[in-house]
Amino acid sequence: MLYTRQKELLYVISRLGTAGRTQLQKLEFLACLNRDKPTYSFFPYKFGPYSLILQKDLDYLATNGFLNFKDEHYTCVVAEQKLTDKDRLEVIDKTIGRFEGYSATGLMEYIYRTSPYCAIRSERAEELLSPSELQAVQRMNPDTETPCLFTIGYEGRSIDEYLDILIRNGVKLLIDVRANGVSMKPEFSSKRLSGYCTLVGIGYKHHSAIGIASEKRKGTYNKADLFDEYLQELRNDKANDLVNIYDDALIGKRVAFTCFEREPQDCHRQIVVEELISKFSMEVSLKHL
């Protein structure tokens, strides 16, 4: 059983006949641009907008016999997939009609000029853009120097959307405050998350000792009581762990604290950050992402 997004990839490749990795990444980016519910999210990478999930889907389709991958290009092995969403089908057909004649380099060049943010980490921007266009890219670089603390949850987010949020906010260090770094969403398990952060130049540290033990979250519990108890732990048993995090926060300058819950008030990470600012009289902004 294929996901709708995977069927979409098969449709795009069957329409093109054959397509390379970079070409597919860029065409899907253009087809997802300014959409309320895009098929994929993207973050700026070596050659512009990139989606880890899109590449994961291509790998899955190739491994399971839906695609053939040869000479750095994909071709469909199965019959063309039918897309039931007429609006999405129209967007894809228009995108292919507009850009199928572009090479991968041509797509990069077009995207860098029309969406300069996508080129902030590109290895080819200087080669493809004029000095004035490069200045437009430079203006899109986020602030990475002004000290700021952030909190972010990955609930309901893809790894691509999550990384893009970190990049847009100039985060230099991600501090994972989960007691257990294993996740039902494998991209967010601590080992993988650390690797993805490295890909985009963000440091990663897992402070598991600052987390709330899983047994305290099992069954029915009162969240207000749980968080009150946790605050007392931060001020007593976990005080040294908070000091270690403070040291990391000073070095990292723009530091994001992460856990699962989407809303900060539902997660202990908000308590950690607020206690950190209060205990050490940190003169720093706090932003929930």
Summarised one tens digit per residue, pLDDT across range 15-33 is 999 999 999 999 999 999 9
Summarised one tens digit per residue, pLDDT across range 142-160 is 999 999 999 999 999 999 9
Q: Provide the percentage of residues in the chain whose pLDDT is more than 90.
A: 91
Which tokens is 224 given?
């207000």
DSSP H helices, 200-238, are 214-217, 223-235
CA distance 139 to 143: 10
Q: What is the pTM of this model?
A: 0.96
Domain ranges of the chain: 4-139, 148-288
Average pLDDT over residues 97-121: 97
Q: Which residues contact 28 (CB under 8 A, 6 or more apart)?
A: 9, 12, 39, 40, 51, 54
Residue 116 has pLDDT above 60, yes or no: yes
Task: Give me the chain's average pLDDT, please.
Answer: 95
Of 67-76, 113-122, 211-220, 232-241, the poorest mean pLDDT is in 211-220
Which tokens is 69 given?
């991958």
Q: Provide the percentage of residues in the chain whose pLDDT is more than 70.
A: 99
Q: Which residues contact 23 (CB under 8 A, 6 or more apart)?
A: 16, 102, 103, 104, 107
Q: What is the CATH number of domain 148-288?
A: 3.40.1010
Residue 1 has pLDDT above 90, yes or no: no
220 pLDDT band (50/70/90 cuts)? low
